[in-house]
Structure 1
Amino acid sequence: MATRTRRPERREEPLSRQRIVEAAIGLLDTAGEGALTFRALAERLATGPGAIYWHVTGKDELLNAATDAVIATMTADTTSTTSTTSTTSTTSTTDTAAATPQEAIRTLALGVFDAIDAHPWIGTQLARAPSQSPLLRVFEHLGRHIQTLGVPHPAQFTAASALLNYILGVGGQNAANARGHHPHTNRTELLNATATAWAELDPDEYPFTRNVADQLRDHDDRTEFLAGLDLILTGITTRQNPTDPTPP
């Protein structure tokens, strides 16, 4: 009887820069930046560190590529600004391209906020490398929308910077708060405990904080983020289009 020839096993998908970056994102999400080593990445990809170095020169480049891969989806096709009715976090790329400048900024900002919430390490990376492409993508698109709003050139840098700093600051703080939760304490329990502590503060020393304790207990982070963003956008547009007549 003839011997049946064994069919060769199916080959693994060839190693590529994209696969390496995707694996790095998964490792960063599950274990944090400290766990991202080329040895750990090689184990995840079932390859050797040398094969990874063929595509990526070092950890800094890999972190930048991972950050850029996530942020790039937030800034794709957001330069056109015609009218639309959608302003929610589920706005698609097509909707964003048809948005007013304010709506496009809100969509971009919320996208970055959600990205930092889902990938807490991104906030640190964006703040750490202001000259790298991930942060520049966000700054560039904010600036284009600021230009479309008609903000005069001398004020454009300040307006775009204020928006960028707010997005990164609040997004990063929200992610830090989430990471800082005790493993056996959920967000609701933490807010209730903090609100109770605020309500018991000295009324002469902390009258305002005591007065807003219940608002802390019930607030939604994303809703508050958008409300703060709208305050900045209102300030930008009001300053450029004052309602009061200019004195002679």
Structure 2
Amino acid sequence: MNVQAGDARKVALVFGGSRGIGAAAVERLAREGHAVAFTYVSRPDAAEALVSKVAVAGGAALAIQADSADPAAIRAAVEQAVAHFGGLDTVVVNAGILRLGSVDTVSLEELDQMIAINIRGVYLAIQAAIPHLPDGGRIVTIGSNTAVRTGHPGSSVYQFTKAAVAAMVKGIALDLAPRGISVNNVQPGPIDTDMNAGAIEMLAEKSPMRRVGRPAEIGGLIVWLAGPDAGYMTGESLTIDGGWVL
């Protein structure tokens, strides 16, 4: 579905938007009036189901198959979203992977894959989007509360990739501040997603709130950062984890 001339909807692109936090972001952005493109790597059935769900609710969504480990695919996804919806106002970079392993067992392939997607892919997604964003546009990355004051054995690579995103956001925010483009990082704690499948009860027991977070709660923060009230906040990492790292 293309936005017609005169349609005042803003346009958002969510990298890694077919499930979990990404899907929640797609739904919330659409509910708030955005036309939303999102990328996925596998499970086209899940991606199309999300497009249909958004459409039934009166919104417009576009699923784009793109691997965030592939620089050309990242650029093509941005171009496709812009061409389909006629512009771009907000970018959410949620694509990321988790591979666990102690420092003596992580393979070079696993190391390179996490760096390629969790760090390089984030940077390249932002870089590709910048020429299309208007002054006052919004960029939101999805990090992790493991980037600050917490962690667990076997997560060293994932942790440093998310710490890198938190640092990256600060520098990019300064680059784009003259254009009024805000750049912020959301750092979720344990959330009820596929990534934590099988560990929900254990994580809930460790949480000060005795539960894990819901994807919709992260989606709500993303929507706020993409909205008009967040224009003066930039370069920040906002941790939303039920008090896990207080």
Report the TM-score, using the length of structure 2 for normalisation: 0.32
Q: TM-score, normalised by structure 1?
A: 0.32
Q: Higher strand fraction: Structure 1 or Structure 2? A: 2
- Which one has a bigger Cα radius of gyration? 1
Q: Higher helix proportion, which one?
A: 1
